[in-house]
Amino acid sequence: MLAQRLEKQAPIETRPLRACDVPRPEPGPGEIRIRVTACGVCRTDLHVIEGDLRAANLPLVPGHQVVGVVDALGAGVSRYRPGDRVGIAWLRGTCGTCGHCAAGRENLCGGSVYTGYHRDGGYAEAAVVREDFAYRIPASFEDAEAAPLLCGGIIGYRALARAEVPPGGRLLLVGFGSSAHVVLQIARHRGHEVFVSTRGPGHQALARGMGAAWVGGPGDALPARVNSAIVFAPAGETVPAALEAVGPGGTVALAGIHMSAIPPLDYEKHLFHEKRLQSVEANTREDGRGLLAVAAEIPIRPKVTRFGLAEANEALTALKAGRIDGSGVLVVGGG
């Protein structure tokens, strides 16, 4: 089968992904194989490819927002049948027995494994996953629309919960990429007023068009204090400003898997008055199911820019440069 494979971590501008013919994976016991139709392009893929995250398994097929159709079953599979449309997300396995797993916090499991990092992902014509870590895709979404929900959507959903926005509260989003443009739709659906701070006229225009109450750039004065903030930008220098923006008792959630160094914080200016700084790590399967249910109910409509599988390097380069408004998706077939 055709796949885009990473053999050595390197800047995306050097085109480190190579198109190659690899054996089609066979599902093991309890696993399903899907014929991939679409795979979202995520900033986490960039962190894996460029080495911001230590290499866990090379050579590797990246991609962890995978949508496709089941075409083969491993021994003992009972949840899915050939022809079912499913998704594969970042979290693809946990130990199931540790204290974190038992407490419903499987995202903190020390034995967790991830799609497109520990195991091959969706930048390919086929992928496998344990059936209990696959998601049924609501019929209301096209394949390319569903793909960004499987990481950007899920992580944004968890970050929104961690941000603890009070009913009718005001929320600041710092950065406006794939995840933030999903969160904006959920937050407005819940009755929150949303401010957006982001670079680039395209991202700013998209935020305005999606109903943000205020849109500005880094350093612009907000019209009012906010109750909560979510930092999506992987830039540590944005964190002090986000903490200043929230009022007493406010929460700032950091939604990225990687972030540059955070500058020193001033206790009284940034943290006093019982402000909270929360990180977000991966997701639980309950987060995934919850996000997909909410997305279908609203319904959320991700703004998608489509690329072919052969254009994976170009898609990631555009993402890095901020040239994708909304979400980038590789269309592998039928997406």
Inside any domain, residue 67: yes
Does 158 lie in the same domain as 145?
no
pTM of the predicted model, to two decimals?
0.93
* Angle ∠(305,183,56) on CA atoms, nearest 5: 70
Does 162 lie in the same domain as 144?
no
Inside any domain, residue 59: yes
Which CATH number characterizes residue 243's domain?
Answer: 3.40.50.720
Inside any domain, residue 288: no
Does 85 lie in the same domain as 211?
no
Which range of residues forms the domain containing residue 181? Answer: 154-279
pLDDT interval class at 334 (50, 70, 90):
low
Does 13 lie in the same domain as 136?
yes
Inside any domain, residue 285: no
Inside any domain, residue 284: no
Per-residue pLDDT, averaged over 185-192, amounts to 97
Does 23 lie in the same domain as 114?
yes
Does 171 lie in the same domain as 52?
no
Overall number of domains in the chain = 2
Inside any domain, residue 62: yes
Does 190 lie in the same domain as 122?
no
* CA dist list (Å): 111 to 93, 101, 118, 247: 8, 10, 11, 38
pLDDT tens-digit series, residues 214-244: 999 999 999 999 999 999 999 999 999 999 9
pLDDT of residue 335 exceeding 90, the answer is: no
Does 187 lie in the same domain as 48?
no
For the range 26-29, what are the long-range contacts, defined as Cβ-Cβ under 8 Å and sequence gap of 24 or more?
Answer: 26/72, 26/74, 26/128, 27/72, 27/73, 27/74, 27/77, 27/128, 28/74, 28/75, 28/128, 29/74, 29/75, 29/76
Does 144 lie in the same domain as 217?
no
Inside any domain, residue 291: no
Which CATH number characterizes residue 127's domain?
Answer: 3.90.180.10
Inside any domain, residue 262: yes
pLDDT of residue 302 exceeding 60, the answer is: yes
